[in-house]
Amino acid sequence: MSDEAARLLAEIHAARALARAATPATRPGVAALWAHATRDPGGPVDLATVRAIRADPGTARRYRALLASQAMAHAPFAVAASDGPVASRRIGAFTLEILAATEDAPPLLILRGSEARSPRLIEVILGDETLRVALPPPIEGAILLALDPAVPEAVRLGAMLRDPACAAFLL
């Protein structure tokens, strides 16, 4: 190995050591995670917090714990079942169903629960992707949300909820 290659290798190891030492300092604090967990859908986000949640498994666990603490119900992964055109899963005391599209109607998300209070938001996490969507008020005890193919966010919500590895939080 030449002296130049050895020097370059030593610099790489030193840079890695500095990067590992700097990681805890770049982790967002509880206040930043709480602000992110209580944000409004479509509102501004702190990109440093989002980056930390995606890149650092410890930060991601802390964020999910904060979400779970404020959620009415959550499922860290889906116990998904599908029967033909209907996909359903339980999220705490709630049942979530996705009815397949028909010729004249888009897919429909139906959320039913026995809770007196209804969730206002749903946040789903799949891998490093997070999606937060506002839910409409319930109609006769059920929340209905059209998963319109013309709305990319709605299409992605349906796709993520169908994946068994997807975590779901009802807030």
Helix 30-37 / helix 57-70 crossing angle, nearest 10 deg: 50
Q: Per the structure block, which two tokens stand in for 62?
A: 């802390």
pTM for the model stands at 0.76
- Closest to 169 measured CA to CA, from 108, 107, 126, 110: 126
In the block, which residue shows the tokens 């005890």?
141
CA 5 to chain centre: 44
pLDDT in 10s for each residue of the chain, 171 residues? 777 887 877 788 777 776 665 555 578 988 999 999 999 888 888 999 999 998 888 899 999 999 998 999 988 875 544 444 457 888 888 999 998 888 888 889 999 987 778 899 999 999 889 999 999 999 988 999 999 999 999 999 999 988 888 899 999
What was the pLDDT predicted at 82?
A: 47
Cα angle 121, 122, 126 (rounded to 5 degrees) comes to 150
Q: Pick the closest to residue 128 from 155, 84, 166, 168 (CA basis).
A: 166
State how far the Cα of 21 lies from the Cα of 96, in Å rounded to an integer: 43
Do the Cβ atoms of 68 and 74 come closer than 8 Å? yes
Q: Where are the domains of the chain?
A: 3-70, 73-170
Token pair belonging to 106: 């888009």
Comparing CA positions, the residue from 95, 112, 102, 98 lying closest to residue 147 is 98
Q: Comparing C-alpha atoms, which of 24, 134, 123 is closest to residue 64?
A: 123
